[in-house]
Structure 1
Amino acid sequence: MQSFLEGGGQLGLLLRNFDWEETGLGSPADWPTPLKTLVGVILGSNQPMFVAWGSDQVLLYNDAYATVLANKHPHALGRPFLEVWSEIRDDLIPIVDQAYSGLPVQMDDIMLMMNRRGYLEETHFAFSYTPIIVKNGLVEGLFCACNEITEQVLADRRREADSQRQRRMFEQAPGFIAILQGPDHIFEFANATYRRLFGNREFVCKSVREAYPDLSGQGFFELLDRVYQTGERFVADQIKVVLDQQDAGPREHFLDFIYAPVCDDAGQVTGIFVEGHDATEARSAQAELRKSEERSRRIIEGVKDHSIFTVDVDNTIIDWTPGAEAIFGWQAGEIEGQVVDILYTPEDQEQGIPALELQTARAKGCANDERWHVRRDGTRFFANGSVRPLHDADGKITGFIKIARDETERRAADAILRETEQRYRLAAKATNDAIWDWDLGANRVEWNEAVSVLFGYTAEQVTPTADWWVANIHPDDRVRVERDIQQVIDGDRDQWTAEYRFRRSDGTFADVFDRGHVFRDQNGEAVRMIGAMFDLTERKRAEDELRVLNETLETRVSERTAELVAAQDALRQAQKMDAVGQLTGGLAHDFNNLLTGISGSLEMMQIRIAQGRTSDVERYVGAAQGAAKRAAALTHRLLAFARRQTLAPKPTNVNDLISGMEDLIRRTVGPAIELETVNAAGLWSSLIDPSQLENAILNLCINARDAMPKGGIITIETCNRWMDKHTAEQRGLEPGHYISLCVSDNGTGMSADVIAKAFDPFFTTKPIGEGTGLGLSMIYGFAKQSGGSVSIYSEIDQGTMVCVYLPRHLGDAEAEAMETDVEPAPRAEVGETVLVIDDEPTVRMLVAEVLTDLGYTAIEAVDGAAGLKVVNSDLRLDLLVTDVGLPGGLNGRQVADAARAVRPDLKVLFITGYAENAVLSHGHLDPGMHVLTKPFAIDVLATRIRELIER
């Protein structure tokens, strides 16, 4: 069995048992070396990968890519690539053609409509196509590493839709809604209702106090402050507010609203959610309702010839009017609380008539009441009336009203009817409501002054008949109103309500709500209708305006949202460009100085050599090397800030490390500064890079010294710290165990603005030319890369304390190794060969020349594919030296893995400009693999190569 086909899970087994003779590839033993190498790479990877080989683009893939194929697997194996994906062939042909022309293709997101489970589905992929170039520069196939990101894209799309939907809901809400942020109550959002109600002012990004100064003294600012400080919501019921309506002047509103605190995950109040509605009209309507109820009560109490009383759902009397007292003889105090059965004859009680009446009223809404009743004195009379249910606001029956009339003296019925109608008309005309009175016999309509005001007609102008009245109803409403009137007259119902439009005297129409009651004679014939009308014109106009606003709401919201998004994008772009300009400007300034020292020294060396003055060359060599070392230190600080430096962490006792640095620190800060160390007993160890921590401590001490030009005290203190969730979040950490290392001084201190920028690269308060401004940013990057953080505590003229927090290591610290003198680099033994792969020609040349000077045979390769050709040859190889970031689709780690598949014992040395953690498995390398960080000393490179080969 071929070694490159070993392993690989299910696909490895399929590849080994597949009949490749029918595909044109032939036996795997005869496959070209690049194909073997790539097949070995994909079988050993957990990432979806495939190879399309030859003119037929025969497809070979791994288990992870089989998941992408879904139902197309396993039939896709060995078939032409474009035939497998026939439904997206048109999308793939341009990409495949580009790869087969020798140009690599990379896409971060491509949308493809795939049919891999029996139906078309939207999919998204990130991938790279790498052409495989063989002899004579011909492309024999392509290699692809891909990731399906469909779920991620769809999830982002759903989140964006949910956010837009919630914003539309808020914007379209009938009540007013606003969101306020921070203790100053800055407006973050306000919907259309809020803007319309409160005057369409400019309040975006303003505080409530800035946007509404006219609310001062009305208590609303204080309510918001209290909700923000206490976290307790406030509910308001018809609170009065006076707002300046600009041209209209102050206007009084009554509002129902809620101030609800908005909290973060830690329970801290970050803002206030405001929701409510204008209750001004409702308050006015309630006042009108109370007036109407009072009028009805006075009318009812004034009716002496009707028994009007109410009972609850258990038929117990709960209200007794003067009319009931007059008819039945009981006073209210005597009868209230009694069961209504007392008013009925024994025969009615035995038949369950009282309960039956309530049951009928509950089912039909009304029950006729024509029974023999008994007076208080025991005489009986015939009562004619009705029973009607009473409802609460939710429509639930709470009781019944019973209206009865004594008809014992039938001969007085007509007189009673006329007297009642006259009293009703007089009472109606005395009110402010628009009252009409229609005498059905005379076909004549009378109205009070309120009707004249509503429609503009006066009694002198017209004496309307019922026909004239109906003729002036709007033609669209006329048939419906005539039908309703006829139903009332025919006796189908005693009440009527309707909405219609009636012509004014100026020819326009008024919207009215009309309700009335019919009076009948003793034979049940309708003789009169009396009713009241209410003007609905303003309400209808408001409804029309609201409908127009709703129809244009989505357009206005879209326009406003687009404006906000554009403004936010412009702000973010300006901030990003400002940060990039600051970083690149500072970096260019420092590197230009260093490059001047290097290039100038090299030019002077060239001049002196040409002049034959070689005695000066060594001085310029030293100057160039010094500038190069400072440039390396600058890049080291930049990588530390970016958290991309290569660290060598090990368990470290920070107390011991500080003790070993005390003499160095004292010499550095000078005699005017006093140094104190306070080392915590039993300090935990931490897994860190000791040399980087030493560099950080020295930088902090130098900063402290510069803050005390007249001398002072520097204190270095260590401590064990356990941080709960709240404390850890304040410092940007996860909860857990940490050690703290704090360097404090009693110098000039730092303002809040300076502290906010202290960790920015190239930010410094020192004069130009003193310091790079990378010290604190390097310390911050080192701490973050080590799993910790940095905090600054300072007051002007009081001093500064910088604390570095590092995670605890559960284990003992390692003892420091004794430094030894560096011995000369050992020379190679006969025949020892090293393969060097690096796309940078200068680096590749220097490494090769060092190897040659030491006696090694050096073989150079420009990329991974060229290097693997050497690996697959019969040449002796003792060591592979490769850069991590390589062109051509194969990085250094992939090349090393492929080389190990062919030569399992091959030693590998990665050389890199920064730690590519994802490629190097976050520092977890296989045995025989090591890392050396650029730039490196030549003697260090030579020693490391010798050590690796001898192992």
Structure 2
Amino acid sequence: MPNTSANQTFLQGGGEMGALMRAHDWAATPLGPTDHWPQSLRSMVSACLNSPLLGTILWGPELRMLYNDAYIPSLADRHPAALGRPVADVWGQAWDMVAPAFHHAMRTGEGFAQNKVELPMVRNGQAEITYWNFSAAPIRGEDGSIVGLLNQGIEFTGQVIAEQQRLAAKQQLRDMNEQLAHEVAIRTEERNLMWDTSPDLMVVIDFEGVIHRVNPAWTELLGYAAAELIGHHVNEFIVEEDHGSTVDAYLATARGSQVRIANCYRHKDGTQHWISWVAAPAGVMTYATGRDITEEKTRQAQLESTHEQLRQAQKMEAVGQLTGGLAHDFNNLLAGISVSLEMIETRISQGRLRDIAKYLSVAEGATKRAAALTHRLLAFSRRQTLAPKPTNAAALVNSMLDMIQRTVGPSITVESIPAPDLWPALVDPSQLENALLNLCLNARDALMGGGCIVIEMGNCEIDADRARQQDVPQGQYLAMHVTDNGTGMAPEVLAKVFDPFFTTKPMGEGTGLGLSMIYGFAQQSGGQVRIASQLGAGTTVSLYLPRYDGEASFDPTVTGAASVAAAQRGETVLVVEDEPAIRLLVADLLQDLGYRAIEVADGNAGLEVLQSGVHLDLLITDVGLPGGMNGMQLANAGRLSRPTLRVLFITGYAADALPHRLETGMAVLTKPFSIASLAEQIRGLIG
């Protein structure tokens, strides 16, 4: 039963242990009830309970333990069962190691103190080594005999472990430093060995390009002794054209960058060596290693020369193919024209004038086909004369649908699908019509007499990644897709479709310039064309045309014969043309139309007329003129003194002489042209 004695004032305070002792059933222990405890025990227990130092009273012959709160952590899992039990039962083997000193104190009354005592213990199920400073003082009873011991101490196991760890870390650091010093010594030795034996050039230069150290390879590779290099600027040994890149390189290392560079060094004997360098900063110096790549450069140059020869051979093969195709087609066309003219001459001499009309028709047809062929060639070479303008592609396609449908035949369905809010395109509308018609004709041939052609239009934003993939400038485009569900193309055919004169049609059917013309037109317009096809699954040709940022309208082109507009007031036209036949025909045509014509053969003569006081209503000039002044330059010079001068350029091949957009009051007419188209252009400019 718990001790119920009220005489427990000596147990007041003491924290956890004071409460445990007050509640403990001491009557059931050999110590008996607390009110029977001698005063000496009461006094020592009271002092121990309220001491901040680790302490325990070892009482009686069995040295039973009465301890304070400071002693609890050392007991660990032995608390609270240790209270009132013999110390030998509580500590077991650890007590056996220190017991002799305690027993000696009990016998003799001589206290003792021991420091840095190492004790193995098992606490919380874990074996450990503990470290203590402790002491024992005898307790005398009322009769003066020794009845117990006051055991006080300090456990400093944590401090010992911390010190051991510190010493271990210190030793580890010492070992690491020794290992590092050893490795540095080895690396230094290796670097020195590499410096002395490496076949590569090694150099240390400052951030102003002055050489401070070189390895022996400089002498072996470039012929210079170290004394001839140290203290000199690196550019003294480099060919002049590489000076700038070399300076940029060591300045970059001064900013902390690693640099790769190849430059050309002069050997002491005057020969040249290409060196590939890797350079990096180290403190206030640049360290660089260079490898001789002269042989690689020579091999590369030889390889590039071989590739260039191959490219030239391929170009010549293409030129041969081009000229062969041209010769075939133009010979056919010239034969139609020349034979028709001979037959006309024969029929006139025979008086058979009725037959002249059919020969004229043949000659005119051949002339138109020749003009179409040259236009396709110029489009293929991206040299045709374009007149780009803001174009509503949906309206353009809509105006052509009936004509396309009649051309492809009733067994093929033609459908137009424009996207809502379709952007206008900046493009030559007549050339776009021509390209679209060619694509629909190709689709018709692939449909083998029946199927569907879909013309789909939409807005397209091409970002940087897609621009690289499709070889087109980044930006906004109108995309026009012409899709058929026809036979499609095999990969080997698809790879050649843009080649000039390549055709899958039988001999004599088609020129093979349709898709190459469309490719050239798209490129010259600042766009691109792409084709996707699969054998048996149809074909899609996609035209990407630059967006026009604004509004655009479209007036359908009026085809067929136009009425010839005659002169209104006998206007005067200056004709500048170096080809006598064309100059004669244009002048005669002008006179037939009621205009007064002034004819000159070159730009200088034309400029004299323009700078004179003669009245002029219009300048008609070829673009390519002899004498060093082309038609565009002549027109610009004429407008200096005649700011409102109207100009009509006639050309068969303008190359780059004409700007992408003509100024107000200027127009262009490509050769060959009809009387009606010339008259219409003249009337439009003068009117």
The residue aligned with 2:390 is: 651
After TM superposition, the structure 1 = structure 2 runs for residues 626-641 of structure 1, keeping only pairs within 5 Å, are 626-641=365-380
Shift of 1:555: 7.4
The residue aligned with 1:943 is: 680
The residue aligned with 1:717 is: 456
The residue aligned with 2:441 is: 702
Q: Measure, in 2, the Cα distance between the counterparts of 1:719 and 1:750.
A: 25
Q: What one-letter code is carried by the residue in structure 1 that aligns with 2:676?
A: D
Asked whether the equivalents of residues 912 and 932 of structure 1 are also in contact (C-alpha less than 8 Å), the reply is yes
Q: Measure, in 2, the Cα distance between the counterparts of 1:550 and 1:771.
A: 54
The residue aligned with 1:836 is: 575
Question: Do structure 1's residue 934 and structure 2's residue 659 form an aligned pair?
Answer: no
Question: Do structure 1's residue 804 and structure 2's residue 543 form an aligned pair?
Answer: yes
Asked whether the equivalents of residues 835 and 879 of structure 1 are also in contact (C-alpha less than 8 Å), the reply is yes
The residue aligned with 1:393 is: 183
With over 3 angstroms needed to count, the CA separation of the structure-2 counterparts of 1:902 and 1:616, relative to structure 1, is: same
Asked whether the equivalents of residues 602 and 627 of structure 2 are also in contact (C-alpha less than 8 Å), the reply is yes
Which structure's relative contact order is higher, taking Cα pairs within 8 Å and 6+ residues apart?
2
Larger radius of gyration: 2
Q: Measure, in 1, the Cα distance between the counterparts of 2:621 and 2:186.
A: 85
Shift of 1:675: 3.0
The residue aligned with 1:923 is: 661
Asked whether the equivalents of residues 396 and 556 of structure 2 are also in contact (C-alpha less than 8 Å), the reply is no
With over 3 angstroms needed to count, the CA separation of the structure-2 counterparts of 1:792 and 1:938, relative to structure 1, is: same
With over 3 angstroms needed to count, the CA separation of the structure-2 counterparts of 1:852 and 1:737, relative to structure 1, is: same
With over 3 angstroms needed to count, the CA separation of the structure-2 counterparts of 1:845 and 1:805, relative to structure 1, is: same
Q: Measure, in 1, the Cα distance between the counterparts of 2:169 and 2:615.
A: 117
Q: What one-letter code is carried by the residue in structure 2 that aligns with 1:941?
A: L
Q: Measure, in 2, the Cα distance between the counterparts of 1:571 and 1:397.
A: 51
Q: What one-letter code is carried by the residue in structure 2 that aligns with 1:728?
A: A
1:824 aligned to 544, 564, 567, which one? 564
Secondary structure of 2:359's counterpart equals helix
Q: What one-letter code is carried by the residue in structure 1 that aligns with 2:660?
A: H
Shift of 1:620: 0.8
The residue aligned with 1:666 is: 405
Q: Measure, in 2, the Cα distance between the counterparts of 1:754 and 1:554.
A: 42
Asked whether the equivalents of residues 396 and 554 of structure 2 are also in contact (C-alpha less than 8 Å), the reply is no
With over 3 angstroms needed to count, the CA separation of the structure-2 counterparts of 1:733 and 1:397, relative to structure 1, is: closer
Q: What one-letter code is carried by the residue in structure 2 that aligns with 1:762?
A: F
With over 3 angstroms needed to count, the CA separation of the structure-2 counterparts of 1:818 and 1:942, relative to structure 1, is: closer
CA deviation digits over 1:11-56, x for unaligned, max 9? xxxxxxxxxxxxxxxxxxxxxxxxxxxxxxxxxxxxxxxxxxxxxx
With over 3 angstroms needed to count, the CA separation of the structure-2 counterparts of 1:687 and 1:898, relative to structure 1, is: closer
Q: Measure, in 1, the Cα distance between the counterparts of 2:409 and 2:294.
A: 70
Secondary structure of 1:394's counterpart equals helix
Q: What one-letter code is carried by the residue in structure 1 that aligns with 2:586?
A: V
Q: What one-letter code is carried by the residue in structure 2 that aligns with 1:869?
A: E
Question: Do structure 1's residue 769 and structure 2's residue 508 form an aligned pair?
Answer: yes
Secondary structure of 2:564's counterpart equals coil
Question: Do structure 1's residue 744 and structure 2's residue 534 form an aligned pair?
Answer: no
The residue aligned with 2:332 is: 593
Shift of 1:581: 1.3
After TM superposition, the structure 1 = structure 2 runs for residues 52-71 of structure 1, keeping only pairs within 5 Å, are none
Q: What one-letter code is carried by the residue in structure 1 that aligns with 2:527?
A: G
Shift of 1:390: 8.6
Asked whether the equivalents of residues 573 and 616 of structure 2 are also in contact (C-alpha less than 8 Å), the reply is yes
After TM superposition, the structure 1 = structure 2 runs for residues 330-479 of structure 1, keeping only pairs within 5 Å, are 391-395=181-185
Q: What one-letter code is carried by the residue in structure 1 that aligns with 2:680?
A: T
1:912 aligned to 646, 651, 660, which one? 651
With over 3 angstroms needed to count, the CA separation of the structure-2 counterparts of 1:822 and 1:555, relative to structure 1, is: closer
1:642 aligned to 381, 385, 391, which one? 381
Q: Percent identity?
A: 57
With over 3 angstroms needed to count, the CA separation of the structure-2 counterparts of 1:562 and 1:676, relative to structure 1, is: closer
After TM superposition, the structure 1 = structure 2 runs for residues 175-254 of structure 1, keeping only pairs within 5 Å, are none
CA deviation digits over 1:245-267, x for unaligned, max 9? xxxxxxxxxxxxxxxxxxxxxxx
After TM superposition, the structure 1 = structure 2 runs for residues 13-412 of structure 1, keeping only pairs within 5 Å, are 391-395=181-185
Asked whether the equivalents of residues 395 and 554 of structure 2 are also in contact (C-alpha less than 8 Å), the reply is no
Asked whether the equivalents of residues 389 and 397 of structure 1 are also in contact (C-alpha less than 8 Å), the reply is no
Q: Measure, in 1, the Cα distance between the counterparts of 2:456 and 2:667.
A: 36
Q: Measure, in 2, the Cα distance between the counterparts of 1:397 and 1:621.
A: 95
Shift of 1:833: 2.8
Q: Measure, in 2, the Cα distance between the counterparts of 1:729 and 1:771.
A: 33
Secondary structure of 2:183's counterpart equals coil
The residue aligned with 1:145 is: none
Shift of 1:694: 2.3
Shift of 1:718: 2.1
Q: What number of residue pairs does the alignment pair up? A: 420
With over 3 angstroms needed to count, the CA separation of the structure-2 counterparts of 1:645 and 1:392, relative to structure 1, is: same
Q: What one-letter code is carried by the residue in structure 1 that aligns with 2:678?
A: L
Shift of 1:699: 1.5
CA deviation digits over 1:575-618, x for unaligned, max 9? 11111112221122111111111111111111111222121111
Asked whether the equivalents of residues 388 and 661 of structure 2 are also in contact (C-alpha less than 8 Å), the reply is no
The residue aligned with 2:526 is: 787
Deviates more, 1:844-853 or 1:930-939: 930-939
List alignment gaps of at least 5 residues for structure 2.
1-163, 172-176, 189-272, 276-290
Q: What one-letter code is carried by the residue in structure 2 that aligns with 1:758?
A: V
Q: Measure, in 2, the Cα distance between the counterparts of 1:899 and 1:774.
A: 39
With over 3 angstroms needed to count, the CA separation of the structure-2 counterparts of 1:928 and 1:678, relative to structure 1, is: closer
Q: Measure, in 1, the Cα distance between the counterparts of 2:546 and 2:419.
A: 16
CA deviation digits over 1:839-892, x for unaligned, max 9? 111111111111222333322211111222233344333322111111111111
Shift of 1:910: 1.6
With over 3 angstroms needed to count, the CA separation of the structure-2 counterparts of 1:339 and 1:766, relative to structure 1, is: closer
With over 3 angstroms needed to count, the CA separation of the structure-2 counterparts of 1:600 and 1:682, relative to structure 1, is: same
Asked whether the equivalents of residues 603 and 630 of structure 2 are also in contact (C-alpha less than 8 Å), the reply is yes
Shift of 1:624: 0.4
Q: Measure, in 1, the Cα distance between the counterparts of 2:312 and 2:666.
A: 43
Q: Measure, in 1, the Cα distance between the counterparts of 2:429 and 2:365.
A: 24
CA deviation digits over 1:901-927, x for unaligned, max 9? 33344332221223444x3332242x4
Shift of 1:556: 4.9
TM-score (norm 1): 0.41
Q: What one-letter code is carried by the residue in structure 1 that aligns with 2:340?
A: S
Question: Do structure 1's residue 867 and structure 2's residue 606 form an aligned pair?
Answer: yes
Shift of 1:704: 1.4
With over 3 angstroms needed to count, the CA separation of the structure-2 counterparts of 1:868 and 1:715, relative to structure 1, is: closer
Secondary structure of 1:393's counterpart equals helix
Q: Measure, in 1, the Cα distance between the counterparts of 2:328 and 2:439.
A: 24
2:350 aligned to 611, 618, 621, which one? 611
Q: Measure, in 2, the Cα distance between the counterparts of 1:773 and 1:575.
A: 19
CA deviation digits over 1:627-649, x for unaligned, max 9? 00111111111122222222233
Q: Measure, in 2, the Cα distance between the counterparts of 1:739 and 1:827.
A: 41
Q: Measure, in 2, the Cα distance between the counterparts of 1:944 and 1:581.
A: 38
Secondary structure of 1:718's counterpart equals strand
Asked whether the equivalents of residues 480 and 543 of structure 2 are also in contact (C-alpha less than 8 Å), the reply is yes
Shift of 1:698: 1.9
Shift of 1:696: 1.9
Asked whether the equivalents of residues 389 and 428 of structure 2 are also in contact (C-alpha less than 8 Å), the reply is yes
Q: Measure, in 2, the Cα distance between the counterparts of 1:575 and 1:591.
A: 24
The residue aligned with 2:622 is: 883
Deviates more, 1:563-572 or 1:750-759: 563-572
